[in-house]
Amino acid sequence: MLVFVLLGVSVLIFAILMTFSPERRAMTYVETPQQVKDIPQIIKQHGLDDPAHVQYFRWLKQISTGNWGWSFVAADTVWNAFWRYLPITLELNLFTTPLIIIIGIWLGTQAGIHKDTWLDHLTRIFAIIGWSLPTFLFALIMLMLFYGYFPLFPPGIIGDKVQMFILENPDKFHSYTGMYTIDGLLNGRLDITLDALRHLAMPVFTQVVVVVALLMRVMRSSMIEEISKEYVITARAKGADNKTIYFRHARKNALIPVVTVAGWLVAFSMEGSVSVEIIFNRRGIGWWLAQSAIALDIPVLMGMCLFFGLVYVVTNLVIDILYAAIDPRIRLT
């Protein structure tokens, strides 16, 4: 099933690719301006005039060996550039995802327990506003306030001084993961970690506020549904106190539909990094994707479609496994 989805995505991407003329597709093989005059040869050499199905299987073979083409924006092969940009986005999501899940589940539970109280209405207003805020606009406003008005959190990934230090002392700072917060700790340089965290604060906050709303609402309605079920009444009749009922009985069952949404949100927040990275000038996957779209860098966009398809497939797999862990009635076959 999942393999099928991935294959389908590759067909979809290839279909988009085939809307380009052979000349334009030949451009993706060009790495220097001098090669532009060789385009007819490139078309012949790579068989870009062949029937569609022949080209598709050839393209699939290329993709699976890691030959994803050349990226103008990164001035590197798509494959290399991808691994260079990935840690930046991963770092952002490493901080946002747990926050989104913890805050979303906690607030949603509270709102569900205290239905129709001021807390519930407050979270409802917060959810609708968070939902209506375009990420890029909210990010700009945050930048305006917390960099312009209160110069607290600068954009970028790390400060100039730290950047200079790393460039000048390549022997003192070894890049293990490409994530500055973790590398700083691994190198025993707490100041670099703190500096990176200072740059991360606003992007993380922006993304959490925008994404948490949905998870919160799903958790709330799921919690309300569970509380009205009969086993809760039985537990109450037995004399169990509210804390036991809500957190030991109801919440566990209420989590089941939430897992689907949470898994979906992980993929979604990868997508949300596009606007955050553009505004806060963090050169990660999202930034690269947007720049490539502006520069009409075809191989990057096709590669990203495939990458996000992979993220989706893996996320679905993880959701299935989590289901079995939460709900023992579901068995993996």
Partner 1 sequence: MADRHPRLKELKFTLYRIFRNPSALIGFCLLLMFGIIAVAAPYIAPPKYPRSPYVMPHKGFSPTPRPPSRQNLMGTTSGQYDIFYGVVWGTRTAFKIGFVVVGIAALVGITLGLVAGYFGSLADEIIMRAVDVAFAVPLLVLTMAIIVAFGRGLENVMFALALVEWRVYVRVMRSGILALRDMDYVQAAKVMGVSHVRIMLRHLLPNGIYPVLVIATMDIGSMVITAAFMSFLGLGAPKGYADWGQMVALARNYIIGPPGDPLKYWYTIAFPGLCIILFVLAWNLIGDALRDAFDPKIRRG
- Residues lying near partner 1 in the complex (CB under 8 A) are found at 4-6, 8-9, 11-13, 16-17, 19-20, 128-129, 131-137, 140-141, 143-144, 147-149, 267-268, 270-271, 274-275, 278, 289-290, 293-294, 296, 298, 301-302, 304-305, 308-309, 312-313
Closer residue to partner 1 (CB): 138 or 246: 138
CB of 10 to partner 1, least distance (A): 9
CB atoms within 10 A of CB 320: 14
- Report helix angle 160-168 to 190-227, nearest 10: 120
Closer residue to partner 1 (CB): 19 or 333: 19
DSSP-derived letter for residue 152 is T
Cα torsion through 102, 105, 107, 109, rounded to 10: -140
How big is the chain, counted in residues?
Answer: 333
CB of 128 to partner 1, least distance (A): 5
CB of 273 to partner 1, least distance (A): 10
CB of 54 to partner 1, least distance (A): 21
Q: What are 70's strand-pairing partners? A: 77
Structure token pair of residue 51:
């029937």
Helix (H) / strand (E) element for 77: namely strand 76-77
Cβ(64)–Cβ(233) below 8 Å? no
CB of 147 to partner 1, least distance (A): 7
Closer residue to partner 1 (CB): 1 or 237: 1
Closer residue to partner 1 (CB): 184 or 299: 299
DSSP result, 111-141: HHHTTTSHHHHHHHHHHHHHHHS-HHHHHHH
Helices (H), 169-189: 180-186
Closer residue to partner 1 (CB): 74 or 166: 74
Cβ(200)–Cβ(91) below 8 Å? yes
| φ, ψ for residue 232, nearest 5 deg | -70, -40
Residue type, 205: F
Structure token pair of residue 307:
């990458």
Closer residue to partner 1 (CB): 42 or 279: 279
Closer residue to partner 1 (CB): 152 or 325: 152
Cβ(39)–Cβ(29) below 8 Å? no
CB of 7 to partner 1, least distance (A): 8
CB of 201 to partner 1, least distance (A): 17
Closer residue to partner 1 (CB): 87 or 130: 130
CB of 235 to partner 1, least distance (A): 22
Q: How far apart are CA 72 and CA 78, in angstroms?
A: 9
CB of 131 to partner 1, least distance (A): 6
Q: How far apart are CA 10 and CA 25, in angstroms?
A: 17
Closer residue to partner 1 (CB): 102 or 129: 129
DSSP-derived letter for residue 229 is S
